[in-house]
């Protein structure tokens, strides 16, 4: 769009919201580099400290439990103190925890450090979704979320190329210490450049009118956590994330182990392959948001567009079956890539639904509540994976993750009803009417 209410929009490179989105993109890259370092150090740690699959599952679950515990406090911090302070705190908090992994020597120590790290890393998404709700109109939200969510895949691509050489030349401790400096650097730029739209010095009047064209009504009040939990719409997005979230966590945390132990790939071969699935994930994340906006521009409602993309994503995730059963490397590697594409297309729209349905005053906390739900399944699922793999194989796990995304989408739209902005006041929800 080139103009808004008769005012000329500045060129894209001068529009403030895209600069804010770039900051979200970079912090999400850092988030996933820190998060995934353990995955590529895991074979060395397991051999060094004699850790079983079940032990590694406990360590992974420690991180997810930390995310589950930290989700609501981080969401409350973002809603009450603002994202400028909230994201700064979250990034420093998890960066310190990641650096201290270099001192770990046992299953207990690594589990506790992962727990600490998880309590901070969850703030990336509750803060990011809130920022998108403030800075982008409805038709751009899935695309914006897709961009910053897609940064997780850039982090996934960078991590093996960064971590494996560091570990090879400087030791596994340095693989935790060096990436932690990236987060500290990001906080400096965030503090220097970020302001909310109402007070941002670089935001023009034309862009302000454009991004606020479908703002929530002024009378929409901030609901309490109890009031949010009484809404079926809250439970719809919570249950969707509960079912969808563990799927990609399984791939992120267990895929190197699966390729190393079951497919016989070397660590260097895994590092050379590991960049490819995230490329498809980025295509799904950004493309899933773009396709939704394109469909809306062609006359589909937000609900119709999101359903189309989310069901398409769930269909791609069902190809997890081939990852475990296909004999040809080209088939199972291709299936992994399509699972990434489908998951991130689905996820971009799942997070966008939160901004579509809930007032901005509650967006970070609802995201946090979905994180608690996803954290619960994400905590339990690695424990299950470790036991199933030790006693049987990876095959039953891949069968489960093939079905979970479709179940999540089904539950979401069955409980959600109409995809309409709510006004949450005094424990009651009503449809908000836009002027």
- pLDDT (tens, 9 = 90+) of the chain, 435 residues, equals 444 455 676 666 778 888 889 999 999 999 989 988 888 888 888 888 888 877 887 888 788 788 878 877 888 888 888 889 999 999 999 999 999 998 888 889 999 999 999 999 988 888 887 888 788 887 777 778 778 777 877 887 788 888 888 888 888 888 898 888 888 899 999 998 888 888 888 877 887 777 776 555 444 456 677 778 888 888 998 999 999 888 887 887 777 777 777 776 666 677 667 777 878 887 888 788 788 878 888 888 877 888 899 999 999 999 988 888 877 778 878 888 999 999 989 988 888 888 777 877 777 778 778 878 887 887 778 778 777 877 777 888 888 889 999 999 999 988 887 777 776 544 444 444 332
Task: Specify if 2 maps to a domain.
Answer: no
Q: Cα(329)–Cα(165) distance, rounded to whole angstroms?
A: 25
Contact 313, 288 (CB under 8 A): yes
Task: Specify if 269 maps to a domain.
Answer: yes
Task: Specify if 4 maps to a domain.
Answer: no
Helix axis angle, 232-261 relative to 329-357, nearest 10°?
Answer: 160
Helix axis angle, 83-99 relative to 107-121, nearest 10°?
Answer: 170
∠ CA 260-264-270 to the nearest 5 degrees?
Answer: 50
Closest Cα partner for 66 from 364, 368, 375, 373? 375
Residue 144 belongs to domain spanning: 11-431
For 211, the enclosing helix (H) or strand (E) is: helix 205-211
Contact 178, 166 (CB under 8 A): yes
**Residue 189 to residues 80, 184, 186, 291, Cα–Cα distance (Å):** 22, 9, 5, 31
> Torsion angle, CA of 316/320/321/325, rounded to 10 degrees?
130
DSSP state of 427: T
Q: What does residue 426 show for φ and ψ, rounded to 5 degrees?
A: 55, 35
Task: Specify if 5 maps to a domain.
Answer: no
Residue in the structure block whose two tokens are 């995730």: 317
Question: From the centroid of its chain, how far is CA 354?
Answer: 13
Reduced to 3 states (helix: H, G, I; strand: E, B; else coil), residue 423 is strand
The residues, any chain, with a CB within 8 Å of residue 241's CB and separated by 6 or more, are 350, 370, 371, 373, 374, 408
Task: Specify if 112 maps to a domain.
Answer: yes
Task: Specify if 209 maps to a domain.
Answer: yes
Contact 14, 203 (CB under 8 A): no
Q: Cα(197)–Cα(204) distance, rounded to whole angstroms?
A: 10
Closest Cα partner for 59 from 116, 118, 111, 120? 111
Please count the structural domains in the chain.
1
Q: Cα(285)–Cα(278) distance, rounded to whole angstroms?
A: 10
Question: From the centroid of its chain, how far is CA 297?
Answer: 26
pLDDT of residue 431: 43
Contact 302, 291 (CB under 8 A): no
Helix axis angle, 107-121 relative to 16-49, nearest 10°?
Answer: 170
Task: Specify if 361 maps to a domain.
Answer: yes
Contact 362, 424 (CB under 8 A): yes
pLDDT of residue 424: 53
State the CATH number of the domain containing residue 94.
1.20.1250.20
Q: Is 50 left (phi over 0), alpha (psi -120 to 50) or beta?
A: left
Task: Specify if 1 maps to a domain.
Answer: no
pTM equals 0.67
């Amino acid at each position: 769009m080139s103009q808004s209410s008769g005012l000329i929009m500045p060129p894209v490179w001068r529009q403030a919201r895209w600069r804010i989105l770039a900051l979200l993109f970079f912090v999400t890259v850092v988030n996933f580099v820190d998060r995934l370092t353990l995955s590529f150090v895991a074979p060395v740690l397991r051999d060094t400290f004699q850790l079983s699959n079940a032990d590694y599952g406990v360590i992974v679950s420690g991180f997810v439990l930390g995310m589950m515990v930290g989700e609501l406090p981080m969401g409350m911090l973002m809603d009450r103190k603002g994202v400028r302070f909230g994201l700064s705190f979250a990034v420093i908090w998890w960066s310190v925890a990641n650096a201290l992994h270099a001192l770990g020597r046992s299953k207990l120590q690594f589990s506790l450090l992962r727990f600490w790290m998880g309590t901070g890393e969850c703030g990336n998404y509750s803060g990011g979704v809130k920022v998108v709700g403030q800075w982008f109109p409805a038709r751009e939200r899935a695309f914006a979320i897709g961009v910053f969510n897609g940064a997780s895949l850039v982090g996934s691509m960078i991590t093996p190329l960064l971590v494996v050489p560091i570990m090879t030349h400087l030791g596994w401790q340095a693989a935790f210490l060096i990436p932690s400096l990236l987060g500290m650097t990001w906080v400096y730029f965030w503090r220097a450049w970020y302001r909310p739209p109402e007070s941002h010095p670089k935001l023009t009047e034309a862009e302000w009118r454009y991004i606020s064209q479908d703002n929530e009504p002024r009378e929409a009040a901030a609901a309490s956590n109890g009031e949010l939990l009484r809404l079926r719409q809250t439970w719809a997005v919570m249950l969707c994330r509960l079912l969808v979230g563990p799927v990609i966590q399984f791939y992120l945390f267990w895929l190197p182990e699966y390729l190393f132990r079951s497919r016989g790939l070397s660590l260097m071969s895994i590092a050379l392959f590991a960049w490819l699935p995230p490329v498809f994930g980025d295509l799904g994340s950004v493309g899933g948001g773009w396709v939704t906006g394109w469909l809306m521009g062609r006359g589909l409602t937000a609900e119709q567009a999101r359903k189309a993309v989310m069901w398409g994503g769930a269909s791609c995730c069902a190809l997890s079956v081939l990852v475990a059963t296909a004999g040809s490397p080209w088939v199972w590697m291709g299936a992994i890539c399509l699972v990434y594409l489908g998951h991130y297309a689905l996820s971009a729209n799942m997070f966008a639904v939160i901004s579509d349905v809930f007032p901005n005053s509650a967006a970070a906390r609802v995201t946090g509540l979905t994180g608690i739900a996803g954290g619960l399944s994400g905590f339990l699922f690695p424990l299950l994976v470790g036991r199933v793999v030790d006693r049987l194989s990876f095959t039953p796990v891949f069968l489960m993750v093939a079905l979970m995304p479709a179940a999540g989408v089904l539950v979401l739209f069955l409980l959600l009803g109409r995809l309409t902005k709510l006004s949450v006041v005094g424990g009651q929800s009503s449809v908000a009417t836009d002027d």
